[in-house]
Chains A and B, each alone.
Chain A
């Protein structure tokens, strides 16, 4: 293995080991032509996301293939499906932004399916984030639809999104926004993953957005 690849692997290992949020003891990594593959086990979906987010920014890493599987650590005991469903429903109920009466939860061996509706795209993101933190959740199928309360025409929504990106210093020359029935397609190139995420998160918070298709390409020039 070349020195360069060894260094990249070492960096990834160090970075995962030093992030206090992660127990990286069950994670192993592979490198192949710029792609880092994450293999092994983590206790929650949140940890899975954190591991991936941690390493996309590292030198030498062009892509991340996240094969991490969720296996709850078992302390305390792994909850039954009924217990998990109650925890999830309570979590949604406690949250001051979500309307629990419009969201239904089905749990089968730790696999969660979410059905129903929320009134904005950012609420859908909040929902996914809340669920991913709960230990015992092995996977999430999110079939919640977004029914926006704002009724903007596609054209004015596209313009609003561009204005917002401008205000947040996220606009670039080849960034393109297309809107069709509230479904937003973002395309163009950005210099790094951080910008990619910032743009996505900013668009997700705009009133009227029902769905986002992110076709941004991350490419350093």
Chain B
């Protein structure tokens, strides 16, 4: 069933209008064969991600190219780059999941660079999420490397993930394949909808020893 381009575009625009994190009138939506492009401005980096998340769940969407620019309202008093860096460092310090001593933060014209290392992939993502919610941040370049603290055995990681998926009553573990190579997890197979896909991804994300995830799951509507 091919979903008409006009419907996809209308549905995405509707999504953006009702989402209070995003100012829909500043965003242009281009759709061709299920390929979506978002162009325009958003008030924060978080809003940039929210717009993309809104578009991705719409039926018929194959891919979203996010070309939105972050432009804070002219009335906002913007912190300096040093203030942004210091604020992010405070936020990291206060979060008991991150160890600031192995990380480095610096900011150039609102663009934040994260360097150094963390022990797991979800900490890398957490650091980026925390950084992008700070006032004045226009972009986050996440160059954190993931170095697990202890010896990691690929087979054990794969088994842990598969067992966790099996315990989850929402997920059909027979339809999902998990491969782990030097801590990099590749997920293939099928899930019934976007929400289940997220569940599978998150299960892998929070498993010890995972350095990166390649999500190649396909949504197959039964």
Interface residues on A, range: 35 or more
A-B contact count (CB 8 A): 110
Pairwise interchain contact A15-B164, C-beta atoms closer than 8 A:
yes
Inside 8 A of A167's CB, which chain B residues have their CB? 11, 14-15, 57-58
Pairwise interchain contact B133-A195, C-beta atoms closer than 8 A:
no
Asked if A59 meets B135 with Cβ closer than 8 Å, knowing A18-B160, A44-B96, A96-B44, the reply is no
Pairwise interchain contact A20-B20, C-beta atoms closer than 8 A:
no
A168 to B90, CA, bound (A): 36
Asked if A14 meets B193 with Cβ closer than 8 Å, knowing A21-B97, A163-B14, the reply is no
Pairwise interchain contact A169-B57, C-beta atoms closer than 8 A:
yes
Pairwise interchain contact B44-A97, C-beta atoms closer than 8 A:
yes
Pairwise interchain contact B169-A58, C-beta atoms closer than 8 A:
yes
- Selected from B20, B94, B135, B163, the residue in CB contact (under 8 A) with A122 is B20
The number of residues on chain B lying at the interface, defined by a beta carbon within 8 Å of a beta carbon of chain A, is 43
Cβ of A128 within 8 Å of any chain B Cβ, yes or no, is: no
Within the complex, the shortest CB–CB distance from B107 to chain A, in Å, comes to 13
Pairwise interchain contact A58-B20, C-beta atoms closer than 8 A:
no
Pairwise interchain contact B199-A18, C-beta atoms closer than 8 A:
no
Cβ of B66 within 8 Å of any chain A Cβ, yes or no, is: no
DSSP majority for the B interface? Answer: mixed
Q: Could you mark each residue 66-93 of chain B with 1 if its beta carbon is under 8 Å from any beta carbon of chain A, else 0?
A: 0000001000000000000001001100
Nearest residue (CB) in B for A119 is: B20
Nearest residue (CB) in A for B10 is: A167
- Selected from A97, A135, A168, the residue in CB contact (under 8 A) with B46 is A97
Pairwise interchain contact A207-B18, C-beta atoms closer than 8 A:
yes
Pairwise interchain contact B20-A192, C-beta atoms closer than 8 A:
no
Inside 8 A of A94's CB, which chain B residues have their CB? 87, 90-91, 133-135
Nearest residue (CB) in B for A170 is: B195
Inside 8 A of B194's CB, which chain A residues have their CB? 169
Pairwise interchain contact B21-A122, C-beta atoms closer than 8 A:
yes
Cβ of A110 within 8 Å of any chain B Cβ, yes or no, is: no
**Residue from the set B72, B163, B206 with the largest chain A CB neighbour count within 10 Å:** B206
Cβ of B182 within 8 Å of any chain A Cβ, yes or no, is: no
Inside 8 A of B20's CB, which chain A residues have their CB? 120, 122, 150, 205-207
Pairwise interchain contact A57-B18, C-beta atoms closer than 8 A:
no
Interface residues of B in 161-216 (CB under 8 A from A): 163-164, 167-170, 193-196, 199, 206-208
- Chosen A-B contacts, 18 in total, with CB atoms closer than 8 Å, are A43-B96, A44-B96, A57-B167, A57-B170, A58-B168, A90-B87, A95-B133, A96-B72, A96-B136, A122-B20, A122-B21, A133-B96, A164-B14, A167-B15, A169-B194, A195-B195, A205-B18, A206-B18
User: Which residues of A does B touch, CB under 8 Å?
Assistant: 11, 14-15, 18-21, 43-44, 57-59, 73, 87, 90-91, 93-97, 120, 122, 133-135, 150, 160, 163-164, 167-169, 192, 194-195, 198, 205-207, 220
User: Which residues of B does A touch, CB under 8 Å?
Assistant: 11, 14-15, 18-21, 44-46, 57-59, 72, 87, 90-91, 94-97, 120, 122, 133-137, 160, 163-164, 167-170, 193-196, 199, 206-208
